[in-house]
Amino acid sequence: MALLLESLLHIIVLFLPKPVINWFYKRSRALFHHLTPRHPAKEGEKKAVDDVLNARDFEALCAVHGYAHEEHVVLTKDGYLLGLHRLCAKRGEKNPHPGHSTGKPVVYLHHGLLMNSEVWVCLTDSQRCLAGYDVWFGNNRGNKYSKKSIHHDPNSTKFWDFSIDDFAWHDIPDSIDHILQVTKAKSLSYVGFSQGTAQAFAALSIHPQLNEKVNVFIALAPAMSPAGLSAPIVDGLMKSSPTLLFLFFGRKSILSSATMWQSIIYPPIFAALIDRSLVWLFNWHSHNITTAQKIAAYAHLYSFASVKSVVHWFQIMRNATFQMYDDDILSPVVRTSVSSYRPARFPTRNIAAPIVLLWGDSDSLVDIEKMMAQLPEHTYAKRLHGYEHLDILWGKNVHQDVIPEVLAALNRFALRPAGNATNDKPE
């Protein structure tokens, strides 16, 4: 039913004349200004918000912050084409050998669920960057920059038949191999956010040789086996039968109409709707993120993801185990206490690469004690007081609380041999 309604609304908006869409946008803007008091913004802040908000893609966002960038394409072993972005120089700096080594330490950043590489650069403060590094940004199959395969049409169900398993088997290791091939570096530093950490936990656990290529894994708002959602009805329903999502949303991309609503709703209202949704689903109040940053960043928050990958997360939540996708969705009822079948778990205790966790103690998706029990002894965890999930990306104090921790980990591990983390933790 949800899929039918979403498709119907999408078709209606698709054929609406542009003047009608503009009318909806203007009316929502007028309603917002009527219901909320005016708070005059500083001219510089307003320009920064508008520049980020109106940037159409990663390239435009880089231009806002004065960076030149390169685009790369990775062909995974199972035929998906993934977009990679690279920041290797400020605009105007000489880069005599584009597409080659810069001699700088290499850092690879990977986004979370329903996101793309833009979430790292949709900042209203240009000073929040990793200066002195050759920085790469990955993208999952199916999102804005990776919606292509040599085997399947993006409109087909087969194209969207992927879960976290596929990110771990292909997307992460194949992207890392491409980056190392281009840069000629022996190893890189991996910085993941949310599902981007889960993908690395999974990939490093099932590819022993990958640990030699990652000199440190920095996990921001790490995700492994979340307890669940704060909305009890949704949480209970999805945990009891995760595959109900297929009934509601089909077997392709989930919430694909989000970009449509974004185009016709005034940005402050769109940001307010996102805020209300985050409170309802996760009990995140986002007080650490400024209104200006929300308006700018929420426009870049959503990207396409498969329904199957979300089903996978609810399977993990239901079983309270960081496991591979359970294809046996109609498993028989067993009356004995001994299970006849158990999905394979990701062997995360086998990870050899150094691990640094930065987690917020107000993040409802992080159970740090349970997570640490599933990770090797050399894992280091840093608690961020009062931080929720998205705060670690866009919080107003990340330059004080998050970036220094990331830089400290990079300085400690980036220039040393990879894959040897025993008893080696940050001070």
Domain edges within the chain: 2-91+103-326+353-413
Pairwise CA distance, residues 396 & 419, whole Å = 34
Whether 166 contacts 141, CB under 8 Å? yes
So what's the pLDDT on residue 425? 63
Instruction: Taking residues 235-249, report their average pLDDT.
Output: 82
**CATH code for residues 2-91+103-326+353-413:** 3.40.50.1820
Q: Which residues of 131-169 are buried (b: 16+ CB within 10 A; e: fewer)?
A: eebbbbbbbbbbbbbbbbbeebeeeeeebbebbbbbbbb
Burial (CB count <10 Å: 0-12, 13-18, 19+), residue 242: buried
pLDDT tops 90 at residue 48:
no
Give the whole-angstrom CA distance, residue 232 versus residue 229.
Answer: 7
> Residue 257: how many CB atoms within 10 A of its CB?
15
3-state secondary structure of 136: strand
Q: Label residue 141 by pLDDT band (50, 70, 90).
A: very high
- Identify the pLDDT of residue 309: 97
Q: Output the pLDDT for position 34.
A: 44
The Cβ-side half-sphere exposure at 184, using a 13 Å CA radius, reads: 7
At 12 the pLDDT is: 47
| pLDDT given at position 298 | 94
- Across-strand partners of 86? 70, 136
Closest alpha carbon to 164 in 339, 316, 10, 6: 316
Q: What is this structure's pTM?
A: 0.88
Question: Residue 22 has what pLDDT?
Answer: 60
pLDDT tens per residue across span 8-36: 445 444 445 566 556 555 555 555 554 45
Supply the pLDDT for residue 72: 98
- Look at residue 369 in the predicted model and tell me its pLDDT: 95
Percent of the chain with pLDDT over 90: 63
Residue type, 273: L
pLDDT over 50 at 320, yes or no: yes
Q: Note the pLDDT tens digit of each residue in 360-397.
A: 999 999 999 999 999 999 999 999 999 999 999 999 99
Question: What residues act catalytically?
Answer: 194, 363, 389
**Digit-coded pLDDT (tens) for 152-174:** 999 999 999 999 999 999 999 99
CA quadruple 228, 230, 235, 236: dihedral sign: positive
Task: Output the DSSP codes for 275-335.
Answer: HHHHHHHH----TTS-HHHHHHHGGGT----BHHHHHHHHHHHHHTS-B-----TTPPP--
* Non-local CB neighbours of 56 within 8 Å, separated by 6+ positions: none
198 vs 168: CA distance, rounded Å:
9
